């Protein structure tokens, strides 16, 4: 029962991506523990949703976001939990649907299933190459998973709960596919920081699916009162960092992204290397961004 969020520019919220930090400054085990603690903290702070990525590399703290979403769903009660993304290009649709049904049972009506067109690289690409789907096969697999979740099979029960469907990307193909399928669309500005490209993709998406779902932009931030520490953490990341500065600087980046793109949501990944810096930054950026968004859009919620 895919329940797409109603489109509209009058509700804006702030979400979080955890398990994205792939810097070599701490061990994968430590980053995984930090991300789990931060994910639980996000609900207390007031974040609306939590996205979990899927990467297959030696440094990745997250290789199975569906499993993590289920584990976090059992420990939370309000925050939405989902995948950003599930790499269906190298996953079996039936087993993926089984995993989603299990995770959703722990999350209730708070589960979001986010797909992407991405692939795996490095040694994982060689090991998993036999599973790789081309674009046409990927689209068919996405539709198959959704059909199984909604209708079930003789050996997989339907999901039995409302859930949201998203497509995440950074280019025109992802936006077009999201519009074609009627999914909500999240544009990753940390993969393609060109704001003009983002605006064009949103315009195309809204033309294809004017009433189907919501739009979101995803940003990477490092908020630290020490500018040197912030820059050092930024240089350690394999991704583009959209803002490395104080919490106020990062909050302004969040609000500017909303203003410039007209997105319904901003999804942030805060990538400070020290756990205490990370936890403090999540709270500070949320508080400052919430205040400014409320002043700019009085009817909004963050």
Give me the pLDDT at residue 4, please. 59
> What's the pLDDT tens digit per position in 220-259?
999 999 999 999 999 999 999 999 999 999 999 999 999 9
Give me the pLDDT at residue 3, please. 64
DSSP structure class, residue 82? E
Give the count of beta carbons closer than 10 Å to the beta carbon of residue 263.
Answer: 23
Average pLDDT, 10 consecutive residues per value, the chain (302 residues) = 53 87 90 97 97 92 96 97 97 98 96 95 92 97 98 96 96 93 96 95 92 92 97 94 97 94 95 97 96 65 46
Tell me if the bond preceding 78 is cis, omega within 30° of 0.
Answer: no
Q: Which CA distances in Å does 283 have to 127, 210, 223, 274, 277?
A: 40, 34, 10, 15, 10
The whole-angstrom distance between residue 162's C-alpha and the CA centroid of its chain comes to 18
Nearest C-alpha neighbor of 171 from the set 150, 156, 186: 186
* Dist. CA 70–CA 81, nearest whole Å: 8
Give me the pLDDT at residue 293, please. 76
Give me the pLDDT at residue 212, please. 75
Nearest C-alpha neighbor of 71 from the set 56, 89, 87, 52: 52
> What's the pLDDT tens digit per position in 162-203?
999 999 999 889 999 999 999 999 999 999 999 999 999 999
295 part of a folded domain: no
Tell me the residue range of the domain where 203 lies: 13-215+259-269
> Count of domains in the chain?
1
293 part of a folded domain: no
DSSP structure class, residue 290? H
Q: Which CA distances in Å does 176 have to 6, 137, 139, 170, 187?
A: 19, 16, 12, 11, 12
Tokens matching residue 8: 């509209």
Give the count of beta carbons closer than 10 Å to the beta carbon of residue 272.
Answer: 25
238 part of a folded domain: no
Q: What's the CATH number where 167 sits?
A: 3.20.20.30
Give me the pLDDT at residue 57, please. 86
Tokens matching residue 254: 């969040």
* Dist. CA 202–CA 217, nearest whole Å: 10
* Dist. CA 220–CA 269, nearest whole Å: 5
149 part of a folded domain: yes
Give me the pLDDT at residue 12, please. 62
Give me the pLDDT at residue 300, please. 46
> Which pTM does this prediction carry?
0.94
286 part of a folded domain: no
Give me the pLDDT at residue 10, please. 38
Give me the pLDDT at residue 171, please. 85
250 part of a folded domain: no
236 part of a folded domain: no
283 part of a folded domain: no
């Amino acid at each position: 029962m895919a329940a797409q969020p109603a489109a509209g520019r009058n509700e804006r919220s702030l979400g979080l991506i955890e398990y994205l930090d792939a810097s070599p400054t701490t061990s994968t085990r430590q980053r995984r523990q930090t991300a789990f603690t931060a994910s639980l903290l996000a609900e207390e702070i007031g974040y609306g949703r939590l996205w979990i990525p899927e990467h297959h590399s030696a440094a990745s703290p997250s290789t199975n976001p569906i499993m993590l979403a289920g584990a976090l769903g059992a420990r939370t009660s309000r925050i939405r939990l989902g995948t950003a993304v599930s790499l269906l290009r190298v996953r079996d649709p039936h087993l993926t649907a089984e995993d989603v049904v299990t995770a959703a049972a722990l999350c209730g009506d708070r589960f979001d299933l986010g797909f992407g067109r991405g692939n795996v690289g490095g040694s994982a690409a060689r090991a998993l190459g036999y599973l790789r789907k081309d674009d046409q096969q990927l689209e068919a697999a996405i539709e198959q998973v959704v059909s199984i979740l909604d209708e079930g099979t003789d050996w997989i029960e339907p999901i039995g709960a409302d859930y949201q469907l998203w497509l995440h990307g950074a280019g025109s193909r992802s936006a077009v596919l999201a519009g074609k399928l009627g999914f909500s669309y999240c544009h990753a500005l940390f993969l393609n920081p060109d704001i003009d490209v983002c605006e064009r993709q949103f315009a195309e998406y809204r033309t294809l699916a004017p009433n189907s779902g919501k739009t979101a932009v995803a940003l990477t931030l490092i908020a630290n009162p020490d500018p040197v520490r912030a820059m050092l953490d930024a240089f350690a990341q394999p991704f583009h960092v959209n803002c490395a500065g104080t919490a106020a600087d990062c909050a302004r980046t969040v609000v500017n992204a909303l203003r410039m793109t007209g997105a319904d949501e901003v999804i942030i990944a805060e990538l400070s290397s020290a756990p205490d810096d990370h936890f403090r930054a999540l709270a500070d950026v949320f508080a400052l961004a919430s205040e400014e968004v409320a002043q700019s859009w009085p009817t909004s919620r963050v």
